[in-house]
Structure 1
Amino acid sequence: MGATPTISDLPAAFPVPGGTIEVETGTSVTILLVSLVLGVPQLLELVTSIDWVAENIGTFTSPIHLPSAVNVTLIVASIIASTERALRLRYHWLLDGGLFEGED
């Protein structure tokens, strides 16, 4: 028994003694991106409703208004997806800061 490094695009199947290991693309990236798109405008509206921010920067009215139950569901789903990504050490250039890294 030993480690065999293998690189492949997802989904992938790797033959091993006694069977096959199948790896599929997870939905955590989708969940996090949807939560980001739906949550940021609402959060921006909340922050710009603070008196000091409204007086000095201005206000923003979110085009998205979701019921509290949907927002709570998005938060819980985001926490679960983030935990899954952290435990599996998954990397995505947009979610993990790769967008703003400079060239060496």
Structure 2
Amino acid sequence: MIEDWRRQRAAKRIKSGDGRALKRLRWWQLPFRAIFYLPLPHGDGRQTIYAVDIPRRTDPDGGKARAHLYLDGRHHAESKLPAAFPVEGGTIHVAISAFGIKRCHYVTTSGAEHQLTPDPKSAEGRRARLERNHPALSRSIGFLSVLMLLIGAGLNLLQLAEPISQAPAIAENIGTFESPIHLPIWLNFALAVGAVLGSTERALRLRFSALDQLGK
């Protein structure tokens, strides 16, 4: 029931495309734009290529970011995010977080999920190439990003719990909490920046969990 309601809402957000050509990604657009591809083969040897263009900015008219779907290089449809584009054999799901791309997957009618392939020139594509060419370094960076996120979000939440617990309603019913850690402002700021960088690195690999929500 809930899934049907979500699909209906997503369908209402979709608008037809205008047929314009997909512009190639420029290096200076790395912080502002991402492109993902989905090639779908046909039985006769032909191949349909879908591309999802995701600007990392809000729409000036609606206030929400939009994803643009291209079919064989031509603008086919667009939708406010989160988006669910019906395509051959399934649906392309797209969502973003405060740190980058949260989801860009092809979900078949049977329920199988496949992540779309990032453009090699995009930030996501460059991160994927690093993972292919230097897997050990990639794992180290991934581990470091999780560590930065855990330390930054964890320590800041621990300190934030103290003033929150002193609110009259909480203090009367639960009691107050005294944080065992009190860090200087500059260090708290550095930890917060580290947590953001950790979540941003994870977003380049389309990794998102409740842990990343804490780093927001």
Letter in 2 for 1:95: L
Percent identical pairs in the alignment equals 45
Q: Runs of 4 or more off by more than 2 Å in structure 1?
A: none
Paired with 2:155 and 2:163, the residues of 1 have a C-alpha distance of: 13
User: Any idea what the Cα deviations from partners look like across 1:69-92, whole Å, max 9, x if unmatched?
Assistant: 111111111112111111221367
Where does 1:22-101 land on structure 2 (aligned, <5 Å)? 22-23=134-135, 24-25=138-139, 26=141, 27-90=144-207, 95=211
Letter in 1 for 2:181: I
Higher strand share: 2
TM-score by length of 1: 0.62
TM-score by length of 2: 0.32
Letter in 2 for 1:22: H
Letter in 2 for 1:59: T
User: Any idea what the Cα deviations from partners look like across 1:23-75, whole Å, max 9, x if unmatched?
Assistant: 22211011011123322221211210212211222100000000011111111
CA contact (8 A) 2:166 2:176 kept: yes
Structure showing greater radius of gyration is: 2
Higher helix share: 1
Paired with 1:36 and 1:78, the residues of 2 have a C-alpha distance of: 6
- Residue in structure 2 matched with residue 18 of structure 1 by the alignment: none
* Greater length-normalized contact order (CA 8 Å, ≥ 6 residues apart): 1
3-state SS in 1 of match to 2:211: coil
